[in-house]
Chains A and B, each alone.
Chain A
Amino acid sequence: MIDILDGNQCAAWGARRAKAQCVPCFPITPTTEIIETIAAWKAKNEFKGEFVQLESEHSAASACFGASLTGARVFTATSSQGLLLMHELLPIISGCRTPMVMTTVSRCLSAPIGLWPDHNDTLAMRDAGWIMFICETNQEVLDSVIMGYKISENNKILLPVIVNMDGFVHSYTRTEVDIPEQKLVNSFLPHPKREIRLDVKKPMTLGIPAMGLDYMKFRAQLHRAMMDSFDVIDKVQKEWAKLTKRKYDFVEEYKMKGAKAAIVMIGANTTIARAAVDEMRKKGKKVGLLRIRLFRPFPEKQIRKALEKVKNIAVIDQNICPGMGGILYPEIKMALSGTKKTISNYIQGLGGNFISEKDYIAILNDAIKNKKEERKWQM
C-alpha cells in the first residue's frame, strides 16, 4: 500500500504492522506524533495492543521492561532529554536480555534548549547494549521497526533495538512510503516462541546482584550476543529484501567505485550529501559516500572493506563530544587503524543547522586536497 507518510507515522505503522502488544509511552517533541497516531488507532480499535501513557520517560522505559518480561511485544518512542531520562533503564533492559523496539527521534540536547535534530541524544546510548539502526529515509524507519522485532526476539540474541530517525527532517517530512501488507508482515514476523520470564508456573528471579567474576561473565555474554547479532541482522535483512525488494545492509556504499575521497556519515543529511557526490562525479571527480546504518554492533569489517581503496576520508559528525570531537570519528579511525589514510573530521549541523549540497561539495573538495588530517567545524 503506497501512502505519503512522515517519519513518525512510519514508526507507528511499523509498530502496528509488527502487532506490538504493549505501548507504554510519554510525549516529547518531535516524537509525540508517533504515540498520538497509535492513540488514535487505539480509540478506533484499529490498534489491538495495550496503550498507556505514563508519567515520565523513565517510567515508560520501566513499563517497557516489565511488559517485555511477561512475553509481550513492546514498542515505545522518545527523543532528546526523554531518552536521557530513560538512560538508566537501557542497560537494565539489555542486561536482562529483554527484547523490544524503541524509535528514537533525534533532537539536540539541552542547554541551550533546542528542538532541532542532531545525534547527541541517540549516540549517547551507544554503550547501553542496544542494537542501533540509524536511518536515512522514512521507508527505512518503517522497515527497520519491523525487522527490529525479528532481530530482537531471536532466541540467540534477545537484545533491545533502537531505530533512529532525525527529528523534523524525518519526523515531520512526508515522503512516499510503501506500507507492507499485514499478511506479508505476519509471514515474516510470526509471534515469537520466546521464553516468558515472569511466569507464575515457572518462577524465575530476575535482575539480581552478581558479584565479582560472575558480573564480568554476564557482561561478556552481553557483548557476545551483540557480536553474534551480525549474522542474524544480515539474515533478517536479506529475508526482508526477498519479500519487499528493499535491500538494507550494515553500511551503504554510494558511488564508491574508484573513489579516491569519500564522506562517511549517518542520518538524514546523507540524502543531501548524495546530491553533492552526484555533482562532483559529473565533474569527473572520484568521490563517494559511505553511510553507516548499523551503529551497534559496530560493523568494523564492512567499513574497512568499503574504504579499502579510498585515500582521503571526511567523517561527518552531527554531534559533539566536548573535549574530544565528533563521536563517529574515533570509531571510523579505529576501524581503519593500521592503514595509511588521511581521515578528517567535520562537525556540522548541531541543533539542526541546515547543511546544503554546497557544504558537502566544499568538504569533498577539501578532503581531496588534504594531506594532513584536519578537524574542522562547519558553521
Chain B
Amino acid sequence: MADVNEIKFDIKKEMVKDHLITGGTFACAGCNPVLGIRLVLVALGKNTIMVNSSGCMTLTATWPFTPYRIPWVHGAIENGGSVAAGILMGLKALKKDSNTHVVVYAGDGATYDIGFQALAGMVYRKEKIIYICYNNCQFANTGHQRSSATEKYARTSTTPPPIGNPLPRKNMAKIMALCGAEYSATASITNPFDFIKKLRKAATMKGSSFIDVLAPCEPGWVVEPWETLKAGNLMVETGMWPLYEIENKKFTLNYKPKMLPVVKALQMQGRYKHLTEQQVTEIQRTVINEWEMITKGRFWEAEEY
C-alpha cells in the first residue's frame, strides 16, 4: 500500500463529528494518552471494540461513569493481545468480524514488558487486530517506574539520579515487524494526521498491526500540563523519536524532522534535569548515528539511545 502521506484526511469534515470519547475522564491535565484515544476513534469510527490493558487509561472510566461510546473492555495488564484475540475469535464464530475493528490500547509497560508475550503471540498468529501502544516511556500509573521503553539516562522512580536509567530502550516497532506484524509503525500525538493515517492504513491490513505512539505524560516527564505537546513535538523534531512505518518488513520514513539539538528536548523535561554534559553528548551522538543509519538505508542496524 501507498506511503501514509498519500492517504487523504480532511480535518474539517472528520473532526467535527460526535466524539466517541467524551470529556470528563479522570486523566491528568495535559494527558496525551487520552488524546490518543480520541484520535484512534476519529480514525476508526464507531465500529470499534477497544481492549485496554491495566494502566492510566483504565481509570478513564470509573463506576458508574464512562466516557466511551464504543464497546470497551479492560481485562488485566499483561493480556491485551490475547483478550483481543479472543474477541476476534468470538466475532468470527458469530460471523461479525468483517466490519468491526478490534483495537488494543495499552501503555508501554503493558506492551514492552509484562504484555510482551501476549502481543508477540497475537502478532505471530497474524490476528487482524490493531495494537496501539501509548508510549509515555514508563510505568506511569504506578508512579513512574522504569519500563523497557524508558530512554537511556531518563529519571524514573526506580532509576533515580545521578545515573538515571542505565539501559537503552527496546525498539518495539522493529521487534513486532520481525515477529510477523504486517504493519508496524511509530507515531506521535503531536503529529495527529500522521497517526490517524497510520491507523487508517492499519485498518486495511489482513494481519496484525502495531503502532507505537509517543504520548508524553505530564507528571512522569515533569513538564507543565500545557507543555506536554511541546515536549512530544521536541522529541520528534530533535530526531529522538523518528516517525516511520514498516510494511511487510519494508521500511519507510514518514517525516523528516528539523534535527534540533537534543538538549532542546531534554532541558524542558524534569526527568532529564540531572544529566551531565557528557551524557547529553552521548545521547546526541546516538541520535545522530541512528539517523545516519536510517538515511543510508541501514535502518535495521541502528542503535537505540
Contacts and interface: CB of A to CB of B under 8 A. Distances in A.
Of the candidates B71, B78, B87, the one having the most CB atoms from chain A within 10 angstroms of its own CB is B71
Given A62-B79, A66-B73, A199-B71, A52 B94 contact: no
B82 interface: yes
Tell which of A52, A69, A70, A207 has the most Cβ of chain B within 10 Å.
A70
Nearest to A212: B63
Interface string B48-79: 11011000001101111010111111111011
A54 interface: yes
B82 A54 contact: yes
Contact of B72 (A22, A88, A206): A206
Contact of A69 (B46, B66, B87, B93): B87
A66 B86 contact: yes
B71 A197 contact: yes
B284 interface: no
Interface stretch (B119-127, B228-236, B290-298): B119-127
B90 A22 contact: yes
Given A66-B73, A210-B62, A54 B85 contact: yes
Interface string A34-75: 000000000000000110101110111011111111111010
13 contacts: A22-B89, A50-B89, A52-B125, A56-B121, A59-B79, A62-B118, A67-B87, A70-B90, A92-B75, A203-B68, A205-B66, A208-B66, A209-B62
Interface string A72-93: 1010000000000000110010
Contact of B46 (A54, A58, A200): A200
Interface residues of A, number: 42
Contact of A200 (B48, B58, B88, B124): B48
B121 A59 contact: yes
A104 to B, nearest CB: 19
A59 B83 CA distance: 7
Contacts of B64: 214
A70 B91 CA distance: 6
B93 A200 contact: no
A28 B304 CA distance: 39
Most buried by A among B62, B83, B89, B94: B89
A211 B62 CA distance: 8
Given A198-B49, A205-B73, 20 more contacts: A21-B94, A50-B90, A50-B93, A55-B117, A56-B118, A58-B78, A58-B79, A63-B82, A63-B85, A63-B89, A66-B84, A66-B88, A67-B90, A69-B90, A70-B91, A88-B76, A89-B76, A209-B58, A210-B62, A210-B63
Nearest to A72: B90
Interface of B: 46-49, 51-52, 58-59, 61-64, 66, 68-76, 78-79, 81-94, 96, 100, 117-118, 120-121, 124-125
B104 to A, nearest CB: 10
Interface of A: 21-22, 24, 49-50, 52, 54-56, 58-60, 62-72, 74, 88-89, 92, 96, 197-200, 203-211, 214
A218 to B, nearest CB: 8
A71 B78 CA distance: 23
A323 to B, nearest CB: 29
A70 B95 CA distance: 11
Given A22-B90, A70-B90, A58 B71 contact: no
6 smallest beta-carbon distances between A and B, as pairs: A66-B86, A70-B90, A63-B86, A55-B121, A59-B82, A62-B79
Most central of B68, B93, B125 by chain A CB within 10 Å: B93
B90 A66 contact: yes
A21 B93 contact: yes
A197 to B, nearest CB: 7
Given A59-B85, A65-B86, A66-B83, A208 B62 contact: yes
B118 A49 contact: no
A59 B84 contact: no
Contact of B73 (A21, A54, A88, A206): A206
Contacts of A68: 86, 90
Contacts of B49: 198, 200
A62 B96 CA distance: 20
Contacts of A206: 71-74
Contact of B63 (A63, A89, A204, A211): A211
Contacts of A59: 79, 81-82, 85, 117-118, 121
B67 to A, nearest CB: 8
Nearest to A210: B63
Contact of B89 (A71, A72, A92, A211): A72
Contacts of B78: 58
B231 to A, nearest CB: 28
A96 to B, nearest CB: 8
B251 to A, nearest CB: 27
Contacts of A211: 62-63
Nearest to B92: A50
Contacts of B118: 55-56, 58-59, 62
